[in-house]
Amino acid sequence: MSTSPKAIPEPTVRRLTLYLRHLEQLTGKGMHKISSRQLGEDLHLGPAQVRRDLATFGQFGQPGMGYKVASLVEQLRKVLGVNRVWKVVLVGAGQLGQALLRYEAFDRQGFHFVAAFDTDPFKIGKKVGAVRIVHLDTLEEVIRAECVQLAILAVPAAVVPQVVEKLTKAGIHGILNFAPTSIEPIPGVVVDHVDVTAHLEQLSFRVIRMLEETDQT
């Protein structure tokens, strides 16, 4: 009976990210306004889809003119919550973990690594990118001291449950899981999953279908 919950559909949220990235590139090119038709064309979406998505959280377009790129970028950042800095920890400093630590685009988008954890004595103390690898046992301490909100998990599937428990205890708010295993839902923690093998399997499925359709004799 107070603030309306708004209910933004999940597919819309996924596309907001795409709009934001594309619009950021456009500002770099000095483009000041854009229409839903053009934006849709660039991202291979229908113009109605674009307008519906953007209208979900307010009215930004100017009828007859289109959207002002700069203000749209600002609004999208606000909606997605990237108009501020998120503190992030990495758990699991293997090959993938280290590649993520070195990926500079995260910082530019407001996701700032404050620490990396591992249990391998050979890795501890090593500096990767801008952060030092420390022992997993210090996880709770660091997360509380630094008020870290997000964690990226790049550990073997087998240890995911234990690490998740530690993170939950430490009061983390969100987890992005790269391990090929599903995480039990936890109240108060948002979980998302990046599953590269799943994407390859999707690709496999779609390639087969495509070839079958093409090959109709």
142 binds a copy of itself (CB under 8 A): no
Nearest CA to 124 among 99, 93, 100? 93
4 binds a copy of itself (CB under 8 A): no
Distance separating alpha carbons of residues 150 and 167, to the nearest angstrom: 9
- Pick the stretch among 31-39, 67-75, 93-101, 160-168 that binds a copy of itself (CB under 8 A): 93-101
**Which residue's structure tokens are 């997000």?**
150
Residue 154 CB neighbours (<10 A): 23
71 binds a copy of itself (CB under 8 A): no
Distance separating alpha carbons of residues 75 and 117, to the nearest angstrom: 34
180 binds DNA (CB under 7 A): no
Q: Residue ranges of the alpha helices (H) in the chain? A: 10-28, 36-43, 47-55, 69-80, 95-101, 105-108, 139-146, 160-169, 196-214
Nearest CA to 118 among 90, 145, 146, 141? 90
Of 9 and 161, CB closest to DNA: 9
Residue 54 CB neighbours (<10 A): 23
Q: Taking the complex as a whole, how short is the minimal distance between the CB of residue 2 and DNA, in angstroms?
A: 21
196 binds a copy of itself (CB under 8 A): yes
Pick one of 22, 35, 74, 126: the residue that binds DNA (CB under 7 A): 35
Site for DNA (CB under 7 A): how many residues? 25
Per CB under 7 A, residues contacting DNA are 9-12, 35-37, 45-49, 51-52, 54-55, 59-67
Q: Which residues bind a copy of itself (CB under 8 A)?
A: 2-3, 5, 13-14, 16-18, 20-22, 42-44, 79-82, 86, 88, 94-96, 98-100, 102-103, 105-106, 109, 111, 149-150, 173-176, 180-182, 184-185, 188, 190, 192, 194-208, 210-214, 216
